[in-house]
Amino acid sequence: MTALSPARTRLALLALALGGFGIGATEFVAMGLLPDIARDLLPSLYAEDPDAALARAGLIISAYAAGVVVGAPAIAAFAARFPRKRLLTVLAVVFTVGTVASALAPTFELVVAARFVAALPHGAYFGVAALVAAELMGPGKRGRAVALVLTGLTVSNVVGVPTITYLGQQAGWRVAYLAVAAIFAATTVAILAVVPWQAGDPAATVRRELGALARPAVWLALLTGALGFGGFFAVYSYVSPLATGVTGTAESFVPWALVTLGLGMTAGNHVGGRLADSSPMRAVFLLFGGFAASLLVLILAAATVPGLLAGLFLVGASSAALSPAVQTRLMDVAGESQTLAAALNHSALNIGNSLGALLGGVVIAAGWGYLAPAWLGLVLCVPGVLFALAGWAVTRRSAPSAPAEPTREHVRVGAAE
C-alpha cells in the first residue's frame, strides 16, 4: 500500500467532495428554475395554464430521481471489480455529458431523457467515492469518510444551488446547467490529477453484489432510510409556502430559509459521520429521535422568523446526520457487496425525495395547511424506527453466520499495474 502525504490525501478528498458539490447542484437547481423551464419548453401550455405547465415540468425532477434509483444498484453491481479511480473518472464524464445534454436538448421530452441519463451515475459515484475516502482516511473512519464525501452535497445546498439558481434566473436555465456541467468537468480533471489509483475487488461479480438484495437486513435498512429521508423532503419541498403562509415572510426571505436549512445539513452531516463510526445502529435510533424532536420544534415555533429558522436548521441537521448512519449500516449488513451497499443509500434517499414531495403535496391539497408536511414527517418516523428495530432484530438473530463490520475496506491503494 502506497502511503500518501497529508496534503495529497486532503486534495484527493477535496476532489471527491467536489463531485458531491456538482451532484447537489444538478439535483436541486431545477426546483428554483422550474417556472423558467416551463415557460421555455412548454410555452403554449404555460400561456394557457401555468399550474399545469409547472406540474408537467416537474417530470424533470422526477426523471432525475428515477435515474438515481435505477443507476445506483445497476452500475454498482456491474462495476464493482473495476479500478476505483477509473470508474470515478468515467462517472464524472457521464455527469458532464448528461448535464451538457440537459442544457442543449431542444425539446421538453429530450430534456427529461437527458436528466434521467445524467442521474444514472449519482448513487454509484457517492458509493465508490465513499469507499475510496474510507481507505484514504484509514481504519475505523468509514462514517466520517461517507460524511466527508456528502459534505460537497450539503455545502452545495448552502452556496451552489442558490448561486446557480440566481445565474439561471438572470441568464437562462440552460446557462445554469452549463455551469453545473463545468463543475463536473473540473471534478473529472481533479480526480485524474490527485485521486490515487485504487484497485477494485477482483472477486466481485454481478451475482455476488446483487446477492446483498437477498438479505432482509439490507431491505430493512433501505426502508429505514427512505422513510427518514421522506420526512425530510416533505418539509424541504414546501419550505416556500411554509415561510410565506405560516411565518408570514416575503418570498424574498425564502432563500435565507433554504440557506439556514443547508447550514444545518452541513453541520449534521459531520456529526452523523462521527456517530456512525461509534455504532451505526445506535446512531440511527438516536438520530430518528433527534429528527422527531426537530420537527416538533418547527411545528411549534414556525409562526415566528427565529422559530422557523431554528426549526429548519435542526431539521436539516438531524436528517443529514441520518444519511451517513444509514449508509454505514447498509455497508455493515451487505457482507461482501460493499460497492452496491454504499450506492443503495442514495436510491433510498431519492425514493424518500419522491415519497416526501408526493405525500407532502397530498396533505396540503387536503386542506391541512402548510405545517402538515412537518406532521407527516413526524408520522413517518414511526415506521422508520420500526423498520430499524426489525433490522436490528434480524442481525441479532443471524449474528453467528452474518459477517461483522468489515475490518478492512474492499479497496487497495497501490501503483497502477
In this predicted structure, the answer to whether residue 1 has a pLDDT above a threshold of 50 is: no
Predicted pLDDT at 406 = 46
Q: What sign has the CA pseudo-torsion 311, 314, 316, 322?
A: negative
- Spatial contact of 266 and 312, defined as CB atoms under 8 Å apart: no
Domain locations in the chain? 6-413
- SS3 for 287-322 is HHHHHHHHHHHHHHHCCCHHHHHHHHHHHHHHHHHH
Predicted pLDDT at 181 = 97
Report in angstroms the alpha-carbon separations of 334 from 48, 128, 178, 324, 328: 51, 15, 37, 15, 10
Fold exhibited by the domain 6-413? Growth Hormone; Chain: A; (1.20.1250)
Share of the chain above pLDDT 70, in %: 93
Predicted pLDDT at 295 = 96
Which letter does DSSP use for residue 199 in this model? E
Backbone angles phi, psi at 412, to 5 degrees: -130, 145
204: confidence class by pLDDT, cuts 50, 70, 90: low
* Per-chain mean pLDDT for the chain: 85
Share of the chain above pLDDT 90, in %: 36
In this predicted structure, the answer to whether residue 136 has a pLDDT above a threshold of 90 is: no
What is the torsion angle, in degrees rounded to the nearest 10, for the CA atoms of residue 369, residue 360, residue 146 and residue 330? 130
Most confident of 44-53, 229-238, 345-354, 379-388: 379-388
d(CA 249, CA 243): 6
318: confidence class by pLDDT, cuts 50, 70, 90: very high
pLDDT digits 0-9 by tens, 59-116: 888 788 889 888 888 887 787 778 889 999 999 999 999 999 999 999 999 999 999 9
Most confident of 18-27, 162-171, 251-260, 365-374: 18-27
Predicted pLDDT at 2 = 58
Predicted pLDDT at 34 = 77
Q: What is the arithmetic mean of pLDDT over 37-57?
A: 85
Predicted pLDDT at 363 = 86
The answer to whether the pTM exceeds 0.85 is no
Predicted pLDDT at 398 = 67
Predicted pLDDT at 258 = 81
Predicted pLDDT at 354 = 78
